[in-house]
Amino acid sequence: MKGGPLAERVRAEVADDVRELGQVGLATVQVGEDPASTIYIRRKHEAADEAGMHSVDRKLPASISQEELVEEVAALNADDGIDGILVQLPLPRGLDDAAAVTAIDPVKDVDGVHPFNAGELYLGRPTHVPATPLGIMALLDEHRVPLDGARAVVIGRSDIVGKPIAHLLLQAHATVTICHSHTDDLARQTLDADVLVVAAGVPEIVTTDMVKSGAAVVDVGINRTESGLVGDVDPDVAKVAAFLTPVPGGVGPMTIAMLLENTVRAARFRRGLLAFPGIRG
């Protein structure tokens, strides 16, 4: 289940949408200089530029105060040329992730992390949904993986991957189990999975003996090891599974494509072409 071809298609559609809308703006906020975050952000900007978007890359020092960070976000909220805002998480120690994301205007929250958007998803009304889970759902759909009535197991319960993908799978009528670092006997859960989404950030936490024959396995993990970039799933799982996303080249490209799609959606909300629910009427 490669992500590249579908991601290319989504990005081409986004470029058409940007041409149609005129101008679409995406801003990222990075605090500190974590090298991995810098790479992710650069890729997002390259993709935004390629799609014809206007993009703003705010780099702030790790010494910034919480108030100054919130002011930066408020300035982007007020900037009419910016449709989507993404604050790269986690923030350096001393800064509050939750306060920073709550400062984002929910309409511009293209990472789907504001409590309003997280709540909408929880209530079964996905509005702005984090890009990685959206990319996973698009890949499963592209490969016609049946979800209605399927047993889905998610490893990981983060706000950006584990919890939102569990909700999307639930809304697609799968029977969903969420596993995490306190789960006893992971294999007992995973062996039952028709669809297995692994987002633990632990190299090769899922091995061949933990996967049911014919399962669809989505490897979200990105781990830098001495032997290079590896996922959370042993590549040998491909011998057992019907589908396995590669690392790199699986979920990663889809995440970027869906972030761009979310930014186009934000532009439509802001122009009144789509109704943004609830608090903005």
The yes or no reply on residue 87 touching ligand NAD (CB under 6 A) is: no
Q: Which residues contact 129 (CB under 8 A, 6 or more apart)?
A: 112, 117, 121, 164, 168, 262
Count of residues near ligand NAD by CB under 6 A: 25
* 83 noted as active-site residue: no
The yes or no reply on residue 156 touching ligand NAD (CB under 6 A) is: yes
| Cα-based torsion angle of the residue sequence 245, 246, 248, 252 in order, rounded to the nearest 10 degrees | -10
Q: Which long-range contacts (CB under 8 A, 24 or more apart) does 166-170 make?
A: 167/121, 167/122, 167/124, 167/126, 168/121, 168/126, 168/129, 168/133, 168/134, 168/136, 168/137, 169/137, 169/195, 169/197
* Residue from the set 82, 220, 230, 233 that interacts with ligand NAD by CB under 6 A: 220
* Residue from the set 75, 181, 273, 278 that interacts with ligand NAD by CB under 6 A: 181
* Residue from the set 51, 121, 161, 216 that interacts with ligand NAD by CB under 6 A: 161
The yes or no reply on residue 64 touching ligand NAD (CB under 6 A) is: no
Chain residues 189-218 in contact with ligand NAD, contact rule CB under 6 A: 199-202, 205
The yes or no reply on residue 134 touching ligand NAD (CB under 6 A) is: no
- CB-nearer residue toward ligand NAD: 151 or 268: 151
* Residue from the set 2, 43, 45, 157 that interacts with ligand NAD by CB under 6 A: 157
Which residues contact ligand NAD by CB under 6 A? 132, 155-158, 160-162, 179-181, 183, 186, 199-202, 205, 220-223, 251-252, 255
- Active-site residue set: 44, 88, 111
